[in-house]
């Protein structure tokens, strides 16, 4: 929404629903937060919906665990490890989402605190920046949802086509069975000796996998959207530090004034000090947000990193054992691409946040401080000293989540791939 201030300058207001993409996916997986006084019947139906999703997801993981116990073939075992890690991560991410619900909501509120909304000036348009950030966040949400859906649907279509090709009158031809075409391994809840039973099992598998995928997508979206919003706020804050003097001069109608020392005009000195103090409070609020994100997500990122490492290696190993034309090769490459995209999002947004944090010191130095009073200069020195420590989210308290981590994981996965190859010989 665009409004005008008292001087006729257009102001693009901050968005109030920056996290709308993540909220939509949360509602889809049964984690919608109803307002007090909501219709009880709707809440009861939604609770049943949530319970149904959860039971199906847990049931599928249990069936994976039971078949894992019976697996003897090395290729099958490695395939099963990769899938099992993903679905266990889905359960873990749902647990984090539920357990830390209040803290996540509190973090969202801190990132949208109206005390730290700035008046635009020239190219400094904080509301526009936040709207652009919101648009990017919604696009990421849509991309994640469509990608995870595509992986499940395409694997289902491939399996159905292969089953139809190898059955006649509802009976499998030759020595093939339903397990020959199912892309993922688990104990079937239906009799799969016929094509009809195989179709039922495929449909249930897709339903359960979609639930697990959406559990993963929901937490991933909240995590990357929080980091993205924090990055946007850090960028805005940097511009706010740099434009402090110009904004204060404009506020006091002194745009054309030129002071050798701000102390010559006490109102200007006071305005600059107050604005610098507000920016500093905003900075410490954002650092507190960084701490909240770290506390909630650090061990999930550790699990995701280790899981991605093993999944990359297992997908490469299984794909190397399969003909390029086989459905299993196709499903493994899809799975590899999806997990690579997922982990790349983590590292990309983490890296952007670190870059935005590192730019604050330069922005403070560029704040036209030469004419400032001593107390303002002291605040500048203290702020720049604090920002010598980088702003980042760590992986299990071990290492920063950056693009360097992504490269390290990909390199490590090839090492594990060679280990799997040696074990399979």
Structure-token pair, residue 376: 């303002």
Cα separation, 310 vs 30, in Å, equals 30
pLDDT of residue 6: 46
Q: Would you tell me how many other CB atoms lie within 10 Å of the CB of residue 193?
A: 14
pLDDT of residue 425: 56
Cα separation, 25 vs 107, in Å, equals 18
pLDDT of residue 234: 93
Give Cα separations from 155 to 40, 129, 315, 336 (angstroms): 39, 39, 15, 13
Of the CA atoms within 13 Å of residue 333, those in its CB half-sphere come to: 13
pLDDT of residue 57: 82
Task: State the DSSP code for 261.
Answer: S
Longest CA–CA separation in the chain, Å: 95
pLDDT of residue 3: 41
pLDDT of residue 5: 46
The residue whose two tokens read 């652009």 is 132
The residue whose two tokens read 């002071």 is 259
Beta-bridge partner residues of 3: 11
Listed by start position, the domains of the chain span 21-424
Output the CA torsion 313→314→320→321 (10° steps).
Answer: 150
Spell out the per-residue pLDDT of the chain, length 425, in tens.
444 444 545 567 788 888 887 888 888 888 877 777 778 888 888 888 888 888 888 888 887 777 766 666 666 666 667 677 777 888 888 888 888 888 998 998 898 888 888 888 878 888 888 888 888 888 887 777 777 666 666 666 667 777 777 777 777 777 777 777 776 777 777 777 777 877 788 778 778 878 888 888 888 888 889 999 999 999 999 999 898 888 888 888 877 767 677 777 888 888 888 989 999 999 999 999 999 999 999 888 888 888 888 888 877 777 777 777 666 677 777 778 888 888 888 899 999 999 999 999 998 888 888 878 888 888 889 888 888 888 888 888 888 888 888 888 888 888 877 876 776 55
Structure-token pair, residue 312: 């990359």
Cα separation, 23 vs 274, in Å, equals 36
């Amino acid at each position: 929404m665009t409004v005008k201030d008292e001087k006729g300058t257009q102001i693009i207001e901050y968005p109030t629903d920056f996290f709308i993409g993540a909220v939509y996916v949360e509602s889809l997986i049964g984690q919608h937060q109803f307002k007090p006084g909501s219709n009880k019947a709707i809440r009861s139906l939604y609770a049943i919906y949530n319970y149904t999703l959860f039971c199906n997801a847990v049931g599928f993981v249990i069936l994976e665990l039971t078949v894992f116990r019976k697996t003897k073939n090395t290729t099958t075992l490695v395939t099963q490890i990769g899938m099992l890690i993903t679905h266990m991560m889905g359960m873990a991410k749902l647990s984090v989402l539920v357990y830390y619900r209040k803290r996540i909501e509190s973090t969202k509120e801190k990132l949208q605190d109206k005390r730290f909304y700035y008046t635009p000036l020239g190219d400094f348009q904080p509301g526009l920046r936040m709207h652009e950030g919101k648009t990017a966040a919604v696009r990421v949400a849509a991309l994640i949802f469509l990608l995870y859906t595509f992986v499940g649907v395409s694997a289902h279509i491939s399996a159905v086509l292969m089953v139809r090709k190898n059955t006649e009158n509802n009976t499998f031809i030759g020595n093939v069975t339903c397990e020959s075409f199912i892309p993922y391994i688990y104990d079937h809840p239906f009799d799969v000796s016929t094509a009809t039973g195989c179709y039922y099992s495929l449909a249930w598998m897709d339903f359960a996998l979609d639930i697990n995928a959406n559990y993963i997508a929901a937490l991933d979206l909240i995590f990357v959207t929080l980091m993205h919003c924090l990055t946007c706020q850090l960028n805005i804050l940097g511009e706010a530090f740099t434009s402090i003097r110009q904004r204060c001069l404009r506020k006091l109608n002194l745009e054309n004034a030129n002071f050798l020392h701000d102390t010559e005009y006490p109102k200007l000195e006071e305005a600059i000090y107050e604005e610098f103090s507000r920016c500093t409070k905003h900075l410490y609020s954002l650092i507190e947000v960084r701490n909240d994100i770290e506390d909630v997500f650090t061990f999930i990122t550790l699990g995701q990193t280790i899981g991605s490492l093993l999944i990359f290696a297992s997908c490469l190993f299984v794909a190397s054992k399969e003909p390029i034309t086989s459905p299993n090769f196709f499903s493994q490459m899809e799975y590899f691409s999806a997990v690579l995209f997922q982990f790349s999002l983590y590292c990309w947004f983490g890296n952007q946040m670190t870059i935005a944090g590192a730019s604050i010191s330069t922005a403070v130095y560029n704040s036209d401080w030469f004419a400032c009073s001593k107390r303002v200069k002291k605040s500048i020195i203290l702020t720049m000293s604090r920002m010598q420590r980088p702003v980042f989210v760590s992986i299990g308290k071990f290492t920063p989540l950056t693009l360097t981590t992504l490269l390290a994981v990909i390199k490590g996965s090839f090492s594990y791939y060679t280990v799997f190859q040696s074990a399979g010989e």
